[in-house]
Structure 1
Amino acid sequence: MLDTSKSLIQVLADPKGILKGVEVIVKRDDLIDPVVSGNKWRKLKYNIREAERRKNERILTFGGAYSNHLIATAKAAAMAGIRCIGIVRGEELDEFSNPTLSSCADFGMQLVFISRDEYRMRNDKMYLEQLHEAYENTFIIPEGGANYFGMIGCQEIWKEIQGMSFSRTYVAAGTGTTAAGLLSALPEGNHLHVVSALKGDFMPGEIRNHLHYAFFDEELTADLMKNCTIYDDSVWGGYGKLDDRLTGFVDFVMKEFDLPLDKVYTAKAFFRLLQHIEEGAIQPGEKVLFIHTGGLQGN
């Protein structure tokens, strides 16, 4: 279950010299599953195992109308033979509103549609207690799989590329869970570049919180944070902000490198990587890893 063997390594061919002598290697987590691609699988793996260990009857999680996390949870739960509930932002929606929600329902997920005001309470302790009372013996997974179990699942990316060394690694971020998992086991000599898909300066705090919860060691957390650079200036205008420029960039990358990207996360991270190459911040001869976290579903 949750097999990641299809996550291949792609060395980007560069006949036009766009990469200026930099060797870019892509970890293709988008290939893990034809329906649900990317780090969502990794973040669910140990969450589902924990629910099974606790003998929970069901899992419950949260997401928006086009959530990659929701559909990943729905399929993973079906594979594991455990019931699941999806709390969806938008009381005006139903399971027929779009293909993502319809697929969630087809996989057996019970969809519960709530107002945006109520959805904002999804991390509130009292609200979560109410959900536990309403749905007994339920394991609750935060939106995006953003917890300790999600973080340790993302550590396993390094195991799949043992024997390869990189000076830098680039990854997109939404909740910071994948970035924290990568940072917690970052190989020596590697520096993690985290490109936030959202506006605001909250991402360092999110990553730090994940690490601190995992290790309960402030000094170790501080040392780990020195090994990453976080970009939260949101070149493209913020989460879900799309324009013709971004669409053109996605088409350009597909044409030049045969690499499909989603517009919300990975395109923005890959743009930053190419920008650093163009500016000379990455030297010719360096070997750089780009982690494709998926996100193509519903793109």
Structure 2
Amino acid sequence: MPQVPSPVAQLFDDRTPSVRLLLKRDDLIHPDIPGNKWRKLAGNLTSASEQGSDTLLTFGGAYSNHIAATAAAGSLFGFRTVGVIRGEEHLPLNPVLARATVQHGMRLTYLDRTRYRAKRDPGLVAELAAEFGPFYLLPEGGSNELAVRGCAELAAELVAQVPEVDVVVCPVGTGGTLAGLAAGLDPVRRAIGVSVLKGGGFLAEEVTTLQRTGFGHGTSNWRVVEEFHFGGYARRTPVLDAFIDDFAERHGLVLDWVYVAKMMYGLFAMVADGRIPAGSTVVAVITGRCEDVVKP
């Protein structure tokens, strides 16, 4: 079963001498439902059960950790799962989708990018219900009212563990984690979201909307930075790969390249250029699956 609170560990790195840096190891909550994925799903699983639903349907890209986590949660808690994937089917399946289907029994269906953009359209939802039967709908990335409230609980947990925290940094894909995290922090602490999307300017509006939906009001103690996407969602470059390899060599941890590595690269850059002030206590939330280096 998922285990919370997740541990906090200090990170000693000579590239961040001006701050005290800690990692909130949410990736250790559960091997298949790590980090913000569990915090977003927990309340929704309860709601689905209370509504008598036996099927979860959600949306995501081919490398979506949310898709994989929903499949694992369904398997663990007795729900059937359906993943609606953006783009065309590619075989063999990549490791994320293979894990969702083979290991956890998720059914997949695909929408071209034009139809996928209409994923909130009631007509499309009705078509999916006609094909797969009644379901509990989880939005792309799992970010809804219940999800942001779950991420607000992360903030309370973190502050209890690190009362002196000044800045909390997390990756951003849909905005749910940042929305809940910032809402759960008091106004003197700041949350910074590192966008993993190219053209993520819309995320600020998404975060504000999610806060108002989840809590009735927005907060001003957060921001999104957009320059560390490395080409866009699920894209990587030699610079990012070199950073991941160097981090693994220094700290024995292979960072998730879709979300976490981009966040950590951005965090180091913001410490270096002063956007994160010297003397700050900084906590980076490790939201995605990371792996310990296995040495011979």
TM-score (norm. length: structure 1): 0.87
Cα distance in 1 between the residues matched to 2:80 and 2:222: 38
Q: Are 2:55 and 2:135, in contact at CA under 8 Å, matched by a contact in 1?
A: yes
Instruction: Name the structure 2 match of 1:87.
Output: 84
Instruction: Name the structure 2 match of 1:204.
Output: 204
Q: Are 2:196 and 2:229, in contact at CA under 8 Å, matched by a contact in 1?
A: no
Tell me which amino acid in the other structure corresponds to 1:293.
T
Stretches of structure 2 lacking an aligned partner (at least 5 in a row): 292-296
Stretches of structure 1 lacking an aligned partner (at least 5 in a row): none
TM-superposed deviation, 1:147: 1.0
Cα distance in 1 between the residues matched to 2:100 and 2:233: 23
Instruction: Name the structure 1 match of 2:282.
Output: 288
TM-superposed deviation, 1:50: 0.6
TM-superposed deviation, 1:295: 4.4
Q: 2:37 aligned with 1:40, yes or no?
A: yes
Deviations 1:174-213 (A, max 9, x none): 0000000101111342111111111221010110110111
Q: Are 2:145 and 2:213, in contact at CA under 8 Å, matched by a contact in 1?
A: yes
Instruction: Name the structure 2 match of 1:183.
Output: 182
How many residue pairs get aligned? The number is: 287
Alpha-carbon distance change, 257 to 97 in structure 1, aligned in 2, over 3 angstroms: closer
Among 251, 264, 274, the residue aligned to 2:268: 274
Greater relative CO, 1 or 2 (CA 8 Å, sep 6+): 1
Q: 2:146 aligned with 1:149, yes or no?
A: yes
Please say which of residues 74-83 and 269-278 is displaced more in the overlay: 269-278
TM-superposed deviation, 1:76: 0.4
Poorly superposed stretches of 4+, deviation over 6 Å? none
Among 253, 258, 274, the residue aligned to 1:264: 258
Deviations 1:33-92 (A, max 9, x none): 223422112111111111001001211111222221111111101111111111223343
Alpha-carbon distance change, 284 to 205 in structure 1, aligned in 2, over 3 angstroms: closer
After TM superposition, list the pairs within 5 Å mapping 1:13-52 onto structure 2.
13-14=12-13, 17-52=14-49
Cα distance in 2 between the residues matched to 1:180 and 1:206: 9
TM-superposed deviation, 1:248: 0.7
Tell me which amino acid in the other structure corresponds to 1:68.
N
Among 64, 68, 73, the residue aligned to 2:65: 68
Please say which of residues 47-56 and 113-122 is displaced more in the overlay: 113-122
- Among all aligned residue pairs of Structure 1 and Structure 2, give the percentage whose two residues are the same amino acid: 34
Among 248, 266, 273, the residue aligned to 1:254: 248
Cα distance in 2 between the residues matched to 1:57 and 1:74: 13
Q: Are 1:166 and 1:189, in contact at CA under 8 Å, matched by a contact in 2?
A: no
Among 154, 157, 162, the residue aligned to 1:160: 157
Cα distance in 2 between the residues matched to 1:157 and 1:82: 25
Q: Are 1:92 and 1:113, in contact at CA under 8 Å, matched by a contact in 2?
A: yes
- What is the aligned-residue RMSD (CA, Å)? 2.1
Alpha-carbon distance change, 215 to 160 in structure 1, aligned in 2, over 3 angstroms: closer
Cα distance in 1 between the residues matched to 2:34 and 2:257: 15
